[in-house]
Chains A and B, each alone.
Chain A
Amino acid sequence: MSLPTPASVSTAGPIVGIDLGTTNSLAAIMGKDGPRVLPDRDGQALIPSVVSFLDGGRHIVGREARGMAITNPRRTVHSVKRLMGRGYEDVAAERAILPYAIVPSDQAKLVLVDIDGRHYTPQEISALVLAKVREVAERALGSRVEKAVITVPAYFDDSQRQATRDAAKIAGLLALRIVNEPTAAALAYGLHTRKEGTIVVYDLGGGTFDVSVLKITQGVFKVVATHGDTHLGGDDFDQLIMKRILDLVTARTGTDLKVHPEALQQIRLSAEALKCRLSSDERATLEVDAGGDAPLRYELSRADFERMIQPWIERTLASCRAALADAQLQPAAIDEVVLVGGSTRIPLVRRAVEELFGRKAHAELDPDKVVALGAAVQADILAGGSRDLLLLDVIPLSLGIETVGGAFAKLITRNATVPCRATEMFSTSVDNQTAIEINVFQGERELVKDCRELGRFKLRGLPTMPAGLPRVEVTFLVDADGVLTVSAKEQRSGVAAAIDVVPSHGLTRDQVKAIVKDSILNAQADFKARDLVEMRNKAHNLVQGTRRVLAMKEMPFTPEQRRELEADIARLEQLGRSEDVAALKKAADEFGHKTQALADDVIGAAIKAELQKASGQLPT
């Protein structure tokens, strides 16, 4: 069968895959030999999802920010993914743990991060992380990056997905597609090259756990079931170890370190390091400075650690069984098991999963990078590079509306393939009523109070009619990213209703616009970084063009002219490796003019055209 011609993306430029993680974020891109991660100058691909605010309105992101967690705990924001698209009451557990201030917003049930009295939405903080990822990607690629495929946990609801999209928008990125992390992982392993098969992806990261059952049929990749817990991950294991250490300190010295945010941060990092060591060592120790004469020693064996985390691992296995039940499959029917997320490095996790499914699990790729690699595969599909596979995701939670008495009427059932839609008829209850309000929820319970409120949709501009006469057909469309849009039409008049969306735990379109406008990302520094990338590209093109001309034997250059040009090229290349935008621009401009003059003087029209082609990319 002949496939439709791929629709071209209207503007050129690379599409990167981004894993926006709770603990770390990173970007990857499809290359000739498959997807590869995009490292920073030091060769590091993982960027800690941490933002630290400094004096004078400055902020730093990534590794340096992570280092600030100890000295600047109340202004260093980590794990912000746990706050994305959530309400103040949803994040009680986080509030107790996170060292920075979290406050409710005035109108909506949004959470805000309070840094010295200035409030940031989780979307803005995530945008700062995304901007850093983008900067690293741009440096690695040597070109602007404006489009991305961004991954989210399969279990993310509409609000959380929308918040992720908004964060991208604030960071100046177009999120072409939101892809579920487990699906991306399966793509990274190239499991879509199987003709037929059933795959389980077990993803235990820093903050979230999910499991997905995927089915491959003729190159079409379909998520048939997904299950998980947005509050289960390696951070919980760190907390368990932390608690042990704090209890030890209290028992030995009588000091309660919980009231010292700096000490808490230090212990949190130490606990995490201890946990990581136990993945390769049978026992590990750490020393805590509790203010006494000598530091306290805390030793933990792998066996002890495994006993501590056993209940958590058991919960993940229960999720796996639930996903299998939803997919109507027995563990033996699974052909491949893929492990994702740093916490799958824990030997117990691997053992438990392999035992449940009775087979060896894939762990060949770095579990911290596999999701970004898969996002790059999907980015390549969107760029029109590959059409031999198609991803069909499902909606993770049922979606419906509030009816009489607070009952929840499901319109779209959990695990339905997206995009999907439902239509529902509404009417008015009083004469000449021109507006209807619909409350939309997501969840599996019978009453809306037990489900998650997504938002209120206000239909306006209905034609005036007696009560009950209007027939308003409302269409709920969940797109390929799992994000809901609502449209409505009055059937008798054919009038489309205007719709105002009031998200319960998110930002309205106007709010996003306003944030984009006053974004701290619009700061001078960011523009400088961008300018540098652009300038480097221009210098590179200029050098390449001149080299091409120099390589032509028939060029009537004198040996001095050649030497001079080669010296200029060397200088330009050296400046290209520096951070000095101004010097680079000046050198490139001068070089452009010089080659232009040379062309005018000694070279014929044809060569002039060749040079112009190269220098034409330089602004005059």
Chain B
Amino acid sequence: MTARVRAATTACPRCGAALQSTLACLACGALLDEPADATHFQRLGLPATTALDAAAAERNYLRLSRALHPDFHGGADEAATGRANAATAVLNEAWSVLSEPASRAEYLLELLEPGVMERSKQLSPAFLAEAMDLSEEADAAARDPRAAAGLRARVQAEADTRLASVLAPGAWVEPDARRLATTLHELRVLRRVLRDLGKPA
């Protein structure tokens, strides 16, 4: 039966191996008690950066899934199953936030400056006007597949530019948090337009 032990240090308290995740020891399989301030990056054993190696990140997620999943912890023991369910739920949450680049950037930004996304909600009148035009065009294009395809490509390009600027490592050296947050909000708006365009008429 795997013991539940405190992750106070960077070494596993049960087997002494170096810890890669705050959730579990990958060497001996011990479920760990997480520190209260554990981040999703620490949970997945990843550096806190927007420039992640996607393949390596997924590898970590899958290794941790095997260590934590209730299928391997429990059987008839309800308490162990419950702990494994809770720990895997946290892991899955961390993965769903970090595996998507824009949500990963938003999460990193909030770590650096808590509340900045909420404080930067007010977008520039120029962008809002442009977004409104795009929405109207999207509505009009709903009946015209060719126009929709052209519009989709344009909006996608706008979104791609913003995502690239947010993901650029340079943007995070002495970052301008407000500006990054604004760009991420604009990206959200553009993605909503894209989603509406994706719907069949």
Residues of A within 8 A of B (CB): 1-11, 147, 174, 176-177, 217-218, 220, 378, 381-384, 387, 390-392, 416-421, 477-480
**CB distance B28 to A416 under 8 Å?**
no
As a 0/1 sequence over residues 48 to 81 of chain B, the CB contacts with chain A under 8 angstroms (1 = contact) are 0000000000110011011101111111110011
Q: Which 9 A-B pairs have the closest CB atoms?
A: A4-B29, A9-B75, A421-B89, A419-B89, A419-B85, A479-B85, A10-B76, A419-B88, A417-B92
Contact call A381/B2, Cβ cutoff below 8 A: no
Known A-B contacts A4-B2, A382-B71; the reply to A390 vs B66 at CB < 8 A is yes
Which of B69, B75, B85 is in CB contact (< 8 Å) with A8? B75
Instruction: Find the B residue at minimum CB distance from A6.
Output: B72
Number of interface residues of B (CB under 8 A): 35
Residues on B with C-beta less than 8 A from A5 are 2, 28-29
Please tell me which one of the listed residues A2, A176, A480 contacts residue B75 in the complex, with CB atoms under 8 A apart. A176
Whether B181 sits at the interface, judged by CB under 8 Å, is no
Choose among A147, A384, A421, A477 the residue that contacts B76 (Cβ–Cβ < 8 A). Answer: A147
Contact of B65 among A147, A220, A381 (CB under 8 A): A220
Q: Is B153 part of the contact surface with A, judged by Cβ < 8 Å? A: no
Closest to B26 in A: A1
Is the Cβ of A382 less than 8 Å from the Cβ of B75?
yes
A412 to B15, CA, bound (A): 36
Q: Are B86 and A421 in contact (CB under 8 A)?
A: yes
Q: A147-B76, A174-B76 are in contact. Are A480 and B88 (CB under 8 A)?
A: yes
Q: Taking CB as reference atom, which chain B residue is nearest A5?
A: B29
Q: Do the beta carbons of A7 and B2 come within 8 Å of each other?
A: yes
What are 17 A-B residue pairs whose CB atoms fall within 8 Å in the complex? A2-B28, A3-B66, A3-B67, A4-B30, A6-B72, A7-B77, A7-B80, A9-B75, A10-B75, A220-B66, A378-B71, A387-B72, A390-B66, A416-B92, A419-B70, A421-B90, A480-B69
Q: Taking A2-B27, A421-B86 as given, write out 7 further A-B residue pairs in contact, using a Cβ cutoff of 8 Å, ordered by the A residue number.
A: A1-B27, A220-B62, A387-B72, A390-B72, A392-B69, A419-B89, A420-B92
Cβ of A3 and Cβ of B76 under 8 Å apart?
A: no
Least CB distance, B45 to chain A, in whole angstroms: 12
B1 touches A7 (CB 8 A): yes
**Interface assignment of B93: CB less than 8 Å from any CB of chain A:** yes
Q: Contact at A419–B66, with CB atoms within 8 Å? A: no
Q: Smallest CB-CB separation from B67: which chain A residue? A: A4
| A420 and B93 in contact, given A382-B71, A390-B69, A480-B85 (Cβ under 8 angstroms) | yes
Chain B residues within CB distance 8 Å of chain A: 1-2, 24, 26-30, 58-59, 62-63, 65-67, 69-77, 80-81, 85-86, 88-90, 92-93, 95-96
Interface class of chain B by DSSP = helix
Residue among A3, A147, A174, A387 with the highest chain B CB neighbour number at 10 A:
A3
**Bound Cα distance A477, B27 (Å):** 27
> Cα distance A8–B95 when bound, in Å?
28
Could you tell me if B65 and A420 are in contact, using CB atoms closer than 8 angstroms?
A: no
* Count of A-B contacts judged by CB separation below 8 Å: 99
Residues of A within 8 A of B74 (CB): 7, 176
B89–A11 touching, CB < 8 Å: no
Question: In the complex, how many angstroms separate the beta carbon of A216 from the nearest chain B beta carbon?
Answer: 11
Q: Chain B residues with Cβ under 8 A from A11's Cβ?
A: 76
Tell me whether A381 and B89 are in contact (CB under 8 A). Answer: no
CA–CA, A11 and B74, complex, Å = 11
Q: How far is the CA of A2 from the CA of B73 in the complex (A)?
A: 16
CB proximity of A410 to chain B, nearest CB, Å: 14
Query: Do A4 and B88 contact each other (CB < 8 Å), given the known contacts A217-B58, A218-B62, A390-B65?
Result: no
Name B73's closest neighbour in chain A (CB-CB): A7
* Chain A residues positioned under 8 Å from B67 (CB to CB): 3-4
CB distance from A285 to the nearest CB of B (A): 43
- In the complex, the answer to whether A390 meets B92 with C-beta atoms within 8 Å is no
User: CA of A420 to CA of B28 in the docked complex: distance in angstroms?
Assistant: 24
Please tell me if the beta carbons of A217 and B62 are within 8 angstroms of each other in the complex.
Answer: yes
Q: Which residue of B lies closest to A15 (CB)?
A: B75
Task: Please state if A9 and B69 are interface contacts (CB–CB under 8 Å).
Answer: no
In Å, the complex CA distance between A5 and B29 comes to 7
- Chain A CB count within 10 A is highest, among B26, B59, B89, for B89
A218 B86 Cβ-Cβ under 8 A: no
Distance between Cα atoms of A619 and B92 in the complex (Å): 51
* B73 CB contacts on chain A under 8 angstroms: 7
Which of B66, B71, B96 contacts A416 (CB under 8 A)?
A: B96
In the assembled complex, the Cα of A177 lies from the Cα of B85 at a distance in Å of 12
Which residues from chain A contact B63 at a C-beta distance below 8 Å?
1
Closest A residue to B62 using CB positions: A220
- The answer to whether B1 and A8 touch across the interface, beta carbons within 8 angstroms, is yes
CA distance A218 to B59 in the complex (A): 8
Q: What's the Cα separation between A419 and B69 when bound, in Å?
A: 8
- The chain A residue with its CB closest to the CB of B88 is A419
User: A11–B75 Cα gap in the complex (Å)?
Assistant: 9
B91 smallest CB distance to A (angstroms): 9
Instruction: Specify which chain A residues have a CB less than 8 angstroms from the CB of B92 in the assembled complex.
Output: 416-420
- Docked CA distance A30–B113 (Å): 53
Q: Inside 8 A of B76's CB, which chain A residues have their CB?
A: 9-11, 147, 174, 176
CB distance from A379 to the nearest CB of B (A): 11
Could you tell me the distance between the alpha carbons of A480 and B71 in the complex, rounded to whole angstroms? 8
Q: How far is the CA of A147 from the CA of B80 in the complex (A)?
A: 17
Chain B residue numbers with a CB within 8 Å of A3 are 29, 66-67
Residues of B within 8 A of A391 (CB): 71
Q: Given the complex, which residues of B lie within 8 Å of A479, measured CB to CB?
A: 70, 81, 85
* A7:B72 contact, CB within 8 angstroms: yes
Residues of A within 8 A of B95 (CB): 417
Complex alpha-carbon distance, A541 and B152, angstroms: 73
Q: Among A147, A392, A419, which residue has its beta carbon within 8 angstroms of that of B86?
A: A419
> Considering only CB atoms, which chain A residue lies closest to B29 in the complex?
A4
Q: How far is the CA of A383 from the CA of B72 in the complex (A)?
A: 9
A6–B70 Cα gap in the complex (Å)?
11
Give the complex CA separation of A176 and B84 in angstroms. 14
Q: How far is the CB of B68 from chain A (nearest CB, A)?
A: 9
Within the assembled complex, what's the spacing in Å between the Cα atoms of A392 and B89? 11
CA distance A2 to B63 in the complex (A): 10
Q: Which residue of A lies closest to B55 (CB)?
A: A217
State whether A477 touches B96 (Cβ < 8 A): no
Could you tell me the distance between the alpha carbons of A2 and B37 in the complex, rounded to whole angstroms?
28
Residue in A1, A174, A177, A218 whose beta carbon sits within 8 Å of that of B71 in the complex:
A177
